[in-house]
Chain A
């Protein structure tokens, strides 16, 4: 059961536009993180990226795109077009953002912690369940508008949502140890 998710996630890492899986002309060993690590994470600044066709996010139908913006640890902005029903963990992973999801999106860890930047958007989301709050209680850098990415599902009301990835290593930067 775990395998398809894992593969899907690997595929999601690709910056692919579209390729039919049945084609035989483009076979290269290049589909999981370790084979595409020739380059450091490819990120774009202030660009609207269409959601990838790979992974377990659904490509949005033209005209039905919802937009979510991630602000990563280096304060770079990634605006992504997604479909209704996609959750933020899947979206982040399909777009190569640094979000781990150690428990595979089953609300059993806090590695997909995001901070909603706008209280108004936070209020539009259904309230977190106890199990999500229990995990958030253990999250680094918890705020009043923290959520777990795996539990936030995109809806029309959340179109335009902006979330920040917490900088978990803030207190452990190498520079802090240098005189």
Chain B
């Protein structure tokens, strides 16, 4: 009986947290935009969230593209279809790997930083202090961070795709000697701009929304102690990774499956 009560209490707690996160999201989404104060803050956050994530995205994109090129080649060469490597690299990057891996890296790099930063602001009473000065921290602190993450993830995913494709070309064409013309032509033939590229970027948009939502909520809602912040940071990474992977399946089924 006790365990049952505990289960119920846990579930209610989760539900309440979900409700609180919804309230925060609502405040952020309906907040009247104030371009004059918002724009510099947004720029600052895009710098922290996007520009500073660029290196990890470029490096991972390059290596993932190169690995895809290498693996694709070793398998496809047995069937004499090594010119399909370009198609394979591009399709897997654009449809799946770019949005998903970017979102996972983003959750680890930027999401955790967002949570820790906001949590620390809460612990050092900076959020309370803002409230007492008469500034809504949801607008001043949460909203710019949320929108920055939302804008940055598709950009990062697009960059990831391009770097990955060229990484695949580097291995496939320059090192393994696939005929360059058919590598690109095959790719261009099979990748559709609307069905593949835009759908992939749409995934990135959804992931950006979810990951930054989780990150800012965990920061805003954390227990304002050092232990609480570290727990919240971990939760951000775990929850957003799971959310990204689960959502990816749903989105893929909706976009590419025949349901």
Bind each other: no
